[in-house]
Structure 1
Amino acid sequence: MTVPQPPEPIPGARLLFSLDPSVSHLNHGSFGAVPVVVQRAQQRLRDEMESNPLRFFTQGLVDRIAHTRRHLATFLGADPDGTALVGNATTGVAVVLQSLGLRAGDEVVTTDHGYGAVTFSVERECRRTGAVSRTLRVPLAASDEEVVEIVRAGLRPGRTKLLIIDQIASATARLFPTAAVAGVAREHGVPVLVDAAHAPGMLPTTVASVGADFWVGNLHKWAYAPRGTAALVVAEPWRERIEPLVVSWEQEAGFPGRVEWQATLDYTPWLAAPVGLFALRSLGLDRVRAHNAALAAYGQRVVGDGLGVAPADLPEPGGPTLAMRLIPLPPGVATTMDAAKELQVRIAERLAAEVAVMSWNGRGWLRLCGQVYNTPDEYDRLAVRLPTLLALR
């Protein structure tokens, strides 16, 4: 099989970012990259805040946040009245968990593709309340229909108080059929929380079409917002039950204000986030999505070839639309979290390439991303140099 052709670069896109040109930044999915125009917009907001902090925080800030929220919710296809801005997806998950009122005998169901920090949050809430957590095993190559049936068989009506499912799993780049899963959960009377950390900006799917009780997604990954910008979307029946992690002066305002307002929090990332959407739309939203997905597919194939992985063994659990791809590492490599972290650092230091190395189900995986600032030769160089590095372990 031939290697897929890389996409044509988007003219001028690389110049929008202030990334170190001596490094191949192939891990956009972890912390994103903020366009220079967004950095400058946020700095202007910081300057405004520091020129008169009292005026910034007390004269109209709540209204400015609400205006920003409406703008971002519209982009996401979500109800602005049911959307609260939060710092990141993990924070949104924690807000939902502590608002459920879990008790002894209740259970929270997740999958083995879940994000590690979310797993920690579930475990902590279960320890605090006496509830239990249960993990469903979902094979990486499972079809959407098989995923739905695994979930259907794993729910326990009356006992399962929450199902958490990823829209795109961080560890495996797996795209889950969230709308179908949410439908099955509704049939069983089980509320669903969709961890959509990677969805905003990458997927065209609207929040409303997912049909989840709770949805949380980061805008600082694929939607070019400053870090610390995420949205928690809550279905109408649940909104009055949602409580913030810390009570502050907007507590009596109800949801979403009571969740958003945290007094001296730095709100400049949220207020600058619409500039990120402007930058994304200026490049062409569909164009960026297609470019990034095609480039990630190219990178997966050439690096896979470099490691001797047959094309048939390269997983495509997310389909052709995702800008994140997995490559299996040789047996025995990065089989633990500590080993994966160590290898990721070695690749960064010795190959000047930032990648994600994952350990999932006892196997090491390399996760590559595609973004408008990346070029095909960055993946080509990694394909040539990585096998030698691995041979020296």
Structure 2
Amino acid sequence: MTVPQPPEPIPGARLLFSLDPSVSHLNHGSFGAVPIAVQRAQQRLRDEMEANPLRFFTQGLVDRIAHARRHLAAFLGADPDGTALVGNVTAGAAVVLQSLALRPGDEVLTTDHGYGAVALSIARECARTGAVPRTLSVPLTATDEEVVEIVRTGLRPGRTRLLIVDQLTSPTARLFPTAALVAVAREQGVPVLVDAAHAPGMLPATVASIGADFWVGNLHKWAYAPRGTAALVVAPQWREKIQPLVVSWEQDSGFPTRVEWQATLDYTGWLAAPVGLFTLRSLGVDRVRAHNAALAAYGQRVVGDALGVAPERLPKPGGPAVAMRLVPLPPGVATTLDAARELRARIADRLSAEVSVAGWNGRGYLRLCGQVYNTPDEYDRLAVRLPTLLAQR
């Protein structure tokens, strides 16, 4: 089998970013990269704020945030009146968890593909309320139908108070059949929170088409917004129950303003986020999605070949638009959190490549992303040098 051909580069895309050219930035999925135009827009807003802080915070800021929110919600295919801007997906998940009024014996159900910080939030809320966290094991090779059936049989109506599923999993780069999972849970009367950390900008599915009770996605990854920009979308029947993590002066305004307003936060990232969408649209949303997914597939294959992983053993992402791919590492490598962190740091220091390394179910994985600023030779260089580095462990 031949290696898939990399996509044609998008002319000028690399110049839109201020990334260090001596480093291969192959891990866009962790912290994103903010285009220069967005950086400058946010800096102008910060200059405005610092020129007259009192005026900035007290004259029209709530309306400006609402305007930005409406713009972002339209891009996501979400109801702006049911959308609140939050700092990130973990913060949005915490808002939902603490708003449910969990009680002893209630259950929060997740899969073993969930994000670690969300799992910690679940554990803390369950410890505080007496609720019980439970995790379903989903094989990496499970089909969509098998994923749905695992969740269907794992639900406990009357006891399961919340199902949390990932639209695109972080540790395993797997696209889940989210809309089907929401439908299954609805049949059994179980509300669903969708962790869509990687969806905005990468995946074409709209929030409305998924139909979850709660959906939270980061715009600072694949939608080019400043970091600290995420959207929490809440179905109508839940909005009055949603409470902020910290009460502030807009508490009586109801959702979403009571969640968004936290007094002296730096809101300039939210206000500049529409410039990120403008950048994405200027490049062509579909064009960017196709380019990034094809480049990630190329990187997975060349690095997998270098590590001796047969093409049929490379994990499949579950959809054509996924711009993150996994490469299994040799057995015994990076199987724990500490070992994964150590290997990631060694790859960064010795190979000048930023990647994600995670241990999942006793196996270490390298996660590679594709973005418009990447080029095929960056994956080629990693493929040539990585086997030697791993042999030195």
State the TM-score bracket (shorter-chain normalisation): over 0.9
**Other-structure match for 1:158:** 158
Residue by residue over 1:254-280, the C-alpha shift from the partner in whole angstroms, topping out at 9 and shown as x without a partner, is 000000000000000000000000000
Q: For 1:312, give the aligned amino acid.
A: E
**Other-structure match for 1:146:** 146
**Other-structure match for 2:323:** 323
**Other-structure match for 2:372:** 372
Number of residue-to-residue matches in the alignment: 393
**Other-structure match for 2:184:** 184
Q: For 1:57, give the aligned amino acid.
A: F
**Other-structure match for 2:47:** 47
Matched, 1:341 2:350: no
Shift of 1:322: 0.4
**Correspondence list, 1:3-18, <5 A:** 3-18=3-18
**Other-structure match for 2:214:** 214
**Other-structure match for 2:80:** 80
**Correspondence list, 1:1-393, <5 A:** 1-393=1-393
Residue by residue over 1:93-135, the C-alpha shift from the partner in whole angstroms, topping out at 9 and shown as x without a partner, is 0000000000001000000000000000000000000000000
Shift of 1:38: 0.2
Shift of 1:216: 0.1
Residue by residue over 1:127-185, the C-alpha shift from the partner in whole angstroms, topping out at 9 and shown as x without a partner, is 00000000000001101110110000000000000000000000000100000000000
Residue by residue over 1:335-365, the C-alpha shift from the partner in whole angstroms, topping out at 9 and shown as x without a partner, is 1110000000000000000000010001000
Give the Cα–Cα distance (whole angstroms) in 1 for the partners of residues 174 and 325 of structure 2: 9
Contact 1:141 1:317 in 2 (8 A): no
Residue by residue over 1:188-214, the C-alpha shift from the partner in whole angstroms, topping out at 9 and shown as x without a partner, is 000000000000000010000001000
Give the Cα–Cα distance (whole angstroms) in 1 for the partners of residues 318 and 58 of structure 2: 45
Contact 1:102 1:131 in 2 (8 A): yes
Q: For 2:300, give the aligned amino acid.
A: Q
Question: What SS is found at the alignment partner of 2:165?
Answer: strand
Q: For 1:63, give the aligned amino acid.
A: D
Give the Cα–Cα distance (whole angstroms) in 2 for the partners of residues 152 and 60 of structure 1: 47
Give the Cα–Cα distance (whole angstroms) in 2 for the partners of residues 154 and 73 of structure 1: 32
Shift of 1:318: 2.8
Contact 1:168 1:318 in 2 (8 A): no
Unpaired runs of 5+ residues, structure 1, are: none
Question: What SS is found at the alignment partner of 2:385?
Answer: helix
Give the Cα–Cα distance (whole angstroms) in 2 for the partners of residues 181 and 320 of structure 1: 20
Give the Cα–Cα distance (whole angstroms) in 2 for the partners of residues 83 and 236 of structure 1: 10
Give the Cα–Cα distance (whole angstroms) in 1 for the partners of residues 290 and 320 of structure 2: 9
Shift of 1:252: 0.3
Question: What SS is found at the alignment partner of 1:255?
Answer: coil
Question: What SS is found at the alignment partner of 2:78?
Answer: coil
Question: What SS is found at the alignment partner of 1:7?
Answer: coil
Residue by residue over 1:305-329, the C-alpha shift from the partner in whole angstroms, topping out at 9 and shown as x without a partner, is 0111100100113332200000000
Using structure 1 for the length normalisation, give the TM-score: 1.00
Contact 1:357 1:365 in 2 (8 A): yes
Give the Cα–Cα distance (whole angstroms) in 2 for the partners of residues 251 and 331 of structure 1: 52
